[in-house]
Structure 1
Amino acid sequence: MSPWSEWSPCDPCSKLMYRSRSVEAFGQFKGLVCNQPLGDRRACQPDRVCEEQIRPQCSNTEFQCESGNCIKKRLQCNGDNDCGDFSDEDICEDVKRTPCGKHELELSELGRTAGYGINILGSDPRSNAFNNEFFNGLCNRVRDTNTLEYHRIPWNVATLNYATLADESFSKELYDDSSTLLKEVLQETKESLSLGFSFKFTTTEEVTNDATPSNFNLKFGKQKTENIKKLTEYSSVKHKTFMRVKGKVQLSTFRMRSRDLMLTETFQNDVAHLPVEYMKGEYFRFLEDYGTHYAISGRSGGEYELVYVINKETMTKKETGDKKALIDKVVTSVSGGTAATAAALKMKIEKSGVLDVGAYVEWAKSLINAPVLLHSQPEAIHSLIPLNMPHGNAKKENLERATKDYIAEYSVCKCQPCQNGGTVTLVDGQCLCLCPPQFEGLACQTLKTDLLRDVNIIQEGNWNCWSPWSTCSGSRRSRTRTCNTNGLTGASCKGETESTDYC
């Protein structure tokens, strides 16, 4: 870690001062794991007065909620909580005709959770930016193809389709080593393969005061990290082979509106409390709360994964009295569903080694109440910043900068290269080497058998981090990077040493 920066001046509105630090190199080869916060804050007494942030006045055709938000006057007294604090309904003696008439339709849970936050490095954001309980006076509805009941769709969701698809794919081949398996698991986890093998499943910045974390999301993020760590432990264990089984249940597809999205009061407050001056730690905290991106469209449901760790020596024997002796361990991951049904499914699998039908059915039934994002089209979170908010443009630019800094901060470029063609991977503040099948060890330095000694090996370096961008000249700017071949002979890196961009 770098030393802490100097404390910033005291912010007159938050009455806080800030400082930050950076990761200079991540732990590797049993070094320390770098998973500490990069931002810090403390209370202070400002020497200047906070400029009151006055929200835009509502027009003559709008009603001002107690929160200060403006809604159309036609939304008053319609039975919907359009303000979010019921201030549009509290003044009403009688409710006008409700948008759905005599039909009392429940909000679709798949619509309520649409617009999931996405962290491009892999962690699960702690909050959703969208107020998906706002309907804008409409009664858009969709029919659940399983229950045949109609549910109401929120304003933010342009389209929502129920389409239950169960997909189970059993691995056609066994994995002879954990590195090959890990590489495949991690590749499927990433939102963007262009970032290299850089992953951050665990949030490290403290939660903001207003954010409301989803405990299940945090547990699932921890579950992913623990499973990856379990698999890496087998990288130095001999006589093991692996079989992967994964299943997926898709419930719906959705697409968000492209304009006039309704954001939560919490999100707007958190944006309002962001410093106008760029403070890295505060903006990183915001990104871990809401995501570097959000899902403008996607598929939701649930998925599970089983990795069987098989004793190869037992498997090769002609006879074995105990079939369970073949399986040393089952590494299980369950995503989606209620906490109770997901935990029950996981426990049954780990206890018996097989997928329990009863537990699976209960888990699949619960997905309608607790879906997760299976696939998405991401959109940058900074695009949601209301530009009519005080300092909206400055904060949008700061968030755009923070997203780039966040990706650069947690980059595999801060790792040392692996030997013998190993793939350098950064997972939650620790650099790992995913070795080719014929090598093992922390740096892939050990040949598994002398029979492979004559195999031709291509040594691969690891790119160092990009230099800062040059000054803008002729509407262009550039940056460079070098290939890190530390400890390797005849190694090189694939890719370009220079990058250019418009400015």
Structure 2
Amino acid sequence: MLFRVIISPQNIQKVRLDPVPDSVDGLKLEPKSWLQLKDPFDHQYGDEDFHDFCNLTRVADLSKDKISKEFPRLVSKDLSKSFFEGLDGRCVLESLRCNGDDDCGDGSDELGCNKVYKACNQPTEEYYGIENLAKGINILNGKLEAVVLDNRYYAGGCLPHFIQDVRFRKPYNIQQYTIETKGSYDFTMEAFESYSEYSMSESKATLSKTSVSIGFAVPNVFEFSFNYNDHKYKKSVKKMRNFSGTKRKFIRAHSELEVARYALKTSNLMLHPEFLSRLHALPLEYTYGEYRQLYSDYGTHFIKEATLGGDFEYTVVLNDERLEKAGYTLEETKNCVQAGLKVGAQIKKVYVAVGFSGGSCEGLLNELGDSTKEREMVEDVYIVVRGGDSETVSRLAAKQLPTPDIMQLWGDAVFYNPDFIHKKIEPLYELVPSQHSNANILKKNLRRALSEYLKEISSCRCSPCLNNGMAVLKALAVDGSWACWSSWSTCSGKTQQRTRQCNNPAPQNGGAACLGPQEESADCL
């Protein structure tokens, strides 16, 4: 039987059963339990085919020619099945009805059930962070947007995955979710003689956290180096830029914990019903405004792989003149801070740790260890924490040296509240189902719109920002910045090229050259 559910805005009005026709365009439809297939040979031709058939096809579109062309193995094996069509048009196997899961994405497959046969007979938990992993991401600002993947679809499966005696249930879309134990509470230390050195290193570190796996060139990711959407991060970056052009030194301590690795299946992903509906609604005749709105709502990319965990960054801004008067070199200062991070507020233990005698580190670490103390050498401290719960993050964000005990508490909290550490992303157009009747047209239009969208908002369209954006000393080094990309060349061998110049502004007075390639190629649209 094919179940159709009629729902009013207020409540369910009625449930009626419509009989499935004996055939559709000559294809005989005989309801048959998938679990009754007799031999393993049938399974290798069945599970994925039937799932893809339901995932990518509407019941109303069934025809012998369509199935013969797109799912030939179903016809050749003479397999048949009854299907259920939800209110949103998603087609699922009839056997997934009344199993306690929202397989249709709108709850309609669980309505009108006399009895519910749960797929899982024991309680299970969701993987940590699974909701955010299902969202699109805007590469221009790092912001997570609306959900594009249905990571709460299980296809009726309930293979348990135990993590520290907790039973988790693996969603259909997930290829891998493994627990990692990499990282420690030790800090990697870096020292910088100027803000330019610090900002360049920070930019490279930020960019290393995201890789773009694409078959189409987008404006280089180096252009978006500081566009994190995290409010506290942006606030810290803005404050740090106030030290541009001043005589300040910087010491950065960084600790990273990996708790899990996540990877999607390589194909046949189950899309979120609302996102799939938006794809279906896109006009085949290219209209930039409508395609642009999709990217605005859902982001430009989706997360293909990710490392989850926690990230703690502790940056000390030092007054160069006062540091010199106190007799500290930058390397000695870095060693003092590193030793202080190992023992926290127990300043007296630092002397032996760094091999100094007397009070070599005491003055500096007393300034770091007590946020209420008047500071001379330490101008400020900036802390960025990702992952963990609000309590431990608040304790770490205090402008004083964290103790090993606080770091341990934060690490424990990160396990249950991880954030992204590293991620691999792919363009949103790669989610267009290949079995969609107009998949090639949609992907071509989405690729074209992505190129326009990124070009429209690229920083290369801004006027040159001289002297690193501040009125500073005349001879200060000025870092280079990219101008806009040229137009694409004509296609040659199915590829096209474009170039850009590092003159917006060009490097001056020994400033850094632009990061990223001057030339790039892409497949022809």
**Counterparts in 2 of 1:354 and 1:260: CA distance versus 1, 3 Å:** same
* In 2, Cα distance between equivalents of 1:501 and 1:79: 46
Matching residue within 152, 156, 169 for 1:133: 152
**Counterparts in 2 of 1:270 and 1:493: CA distance versus 1, 3 Å:** closer
Task: Trace 1:320-399 onto structure 2 (pairs within 5 A).
Answer: 320=363, 323-324=367-368, 325=375, 326-338=377-389, 340-341=390-391, 343-347=393-397, 349-350=398-399, 353-356=400-403, 359-387=406-434, 392-399=439-446
Partner of 1:195 in structure 2?
A: 220
* In 1, Cα distance between equivalents of 2:93 and 2:283: 31
- Aligned to 1:80, what secondary structure does the other structure show? coil
**CA-to-partner distance for each residue in 1:204-262, whole Å, 9 max, x for gaps?**
xxxxxxxxxxxxx95x2x32322221221101222x21111122221111221122211
Partner of 2:84 in structure 1?
A: 63
* Offset of residue 137 of structure 1: 0.9
Does residue 224 in structure 1 map to residue 268 in structure 2? Answer: no
Partner of 1:301 in structure 2?
A: 309
**CA-to-partner distance for each residue in 1:21-59, whole Å, 9 max, x for gaps?**
xxxxxxxxxxxxxxxxxxxxxxxxxxxxxxxxx955276
* In 2, Cα distance between equivalents of 1:368 and 1:488: 44
**Counterparts in 2 of 1:61 and 1:80: CA distance versus 1, 3 Å:** same
Matching residue within 453, 456, 460 for 1:409: 456
Partner of 1:311 in structure 2?
A: 319
* In 1, Cα distance between equivalents of 2:101 and 2:221: 46
**CA-to-partner distance for each residue in 1:314-349, whole Å, 9 max, x for gaps?**
3331585963523221112122234x33652354x2
**Counterparts in 2 of 1:483 and 1:251: CA distance versus 1, 3 Å:** closer
* In 2, Cα distance between equivalents of 1:494 and 1:165: 30
* In 2, Cα distance between equivalents of 1:494 and 1:343: 33
* In 2, Cα distance between equivalents of 1:74 and 1:407: 44
Contact 1:78/1:89 (CA < 8 Å) preserved in 2? yes
Aligned residue pairs total 397
Task: Trace 1:421-432 onto structure 2 (pairs within 5 A).
Answer: 431=465
One-letter code aligned to 2:232: Q
Contact 2:99/2:116 (CA < 8 Å) preserved in 1? yes
**CA-to-partner distance for each residue in 1:172-223, whole Å, 9 max, x for gaps?**
4421112211111111222359826411766xxxxxxxxxxxxxx95x2x32
* Offset of residue 160 of structure 1: 1.3
Does residue 163 in structure 1 map to residue 171 in structure 2? Answer: no
Does residue 123 in structure 1 map to residue 123 in structure 2? Answer: no
One-letter code aligned to 2:199: L
Contact 2:97/2:110 (CA < 8 Å) preserved in 1? yes
**Counterparts in 2 of 1:472 and 1:323: CA distance versus 1, 3 Å:** closer
- Aligned to 1:300, what secondary structure does the other structure show? strand
Contact 2:312/2:383 (CA < 8 Å) preserved in 1? yes
One-letter code aligned to 2:419: V
Partner of 1:205 in structure 2?
A: none
Contact 1:141/1:150 (CA < 8 Å) preserved in 2? yes
**Counterparts in 2 of 1:476 and 1:156: CA distance versus 1, 3 Å:** closer
**Counterparts in 2 of 1:384 and 1:476: CA distance versus 1, 3 Å:** closer
Contact 2:123/2:167 (CA < 8 Å) preserved in 1? no
TM-score (norm 2): 0.65
Does residue 149 in structure 1 map to residue 149 in structure 2? Answer: no
* In 1, Cα distance between equivalents of 2:205 and 2:445: 30
Contact 1:123/1:200 (CA < 8 Å) preserved in 2? no
**Counterparts in 2 of 1:139 and 1:314: CA distance versus 1, 3 Å:** same
* Offset of residue 61 of structure 1: 2.4
- Aligned to 1:259, what secondary structure does the other structure show? coil
**CA-to-partner distance for each residue in 1:143-184, whole Å, 9 max, x for gaps?**
223xx2221111110121112333345344421112211111
Percent identity over the alignment is 29
- Aligned to 1:229, what secondary structure does the other structure show? helix
**Counterparts in 2 of 1:270 and 1:305: CA distance versus 1, 3 Å:** farther
**CA-to-partner distance for each residue in 1:82-107, whole Å, 9 max, x for gaps?**
122332222221223x3333x22122
Partner of 1:40 in structure 2?
A: none
* In 1, Cα distance between equivalents of 2:303 and 2:194: 35
Does residue 77 in structure 1 map to residue 80 in structure 2? Answer: no
Which protein has greater RCO, CA pairs closer than 8 Å, 6+ apart? 1
Q: Which runs of 5+ in 1 are unaligned?
A: 1-53, 203-216, 418-430, 435-440, 449-456
Partner of 2:243 in structure 1?
A: 234
Matching residue within 241, 255, 266 for 2:274: 266
Contact 1:249/1:301 (CA < 8 Å) preserved in 2? yes
* In 2, Cα distance between equivalents of 1:494 and 1:301: 28
- Aligned to 2:444, what secondary structure does the other structure show? helix
Contact 2:481/2:506 (CA < 8 Å) preserved in 1? no
One-letter code aligned to 2:156: G
**CA-to-partner distance for each residue in 1:275-300, whole Å, 9 max, x for gaps?**
55545455444334433222222211
**Counterparts in 2 of 1:288 and 1:141: CA distance versus 1, 3 Å:** farther
**CA-to-partner distance for each residue in 1:474-502, whole Å, 9 max, x for gaps?**
75645455563878899999998776655
Partner of 1:446 in structure 2?
A: 474
Contact 1:99/1:139 (CA < 8 Å) preserved in 2? yes
One-letter code aligned to 2:484: C
TM-score (norm 1): 0.67
- Aligned to 1:464, what secondary structure does the other structure show? coil
Contact 1:341/1:362 (CA < 8 Å) preserved in 2? no
Contact 1:169/1:245 (CA < 8 Å) preserved in 2? no
One-letter code aligned to 1:86: G
* In 2, Cα distance between equivalents of 1:498 and 1:264: 37
Does residue 184 in structure 1 map to residue 228 in structure 2? Answer: no
Does residue 465 in structure 1 map to residue 484 in structure 2? Answer: yes
One-letter code aligned to 1:465: C
**Counterparts in 2 of 1:291 and 1:315: CA distance versus 1, 3 Å:** same
* In 1, Cα distance between equivalents of 2:202 and 2:508: 30
* In 2, Cα distance between equivalents of 1:365 and 1:494: 37
* In 1, Cα distance between equivalents of 2:196 and 2:289: 34
- Aligned to 1:268, what secondary structure does the other structure show? helix
Contact 1:64/1:70 (CA < 8 Å) preserved in 2? yes
* Offset of residue 69 of structure 1: 0.8
* Offset of residue 139 of structure 1: 1.1
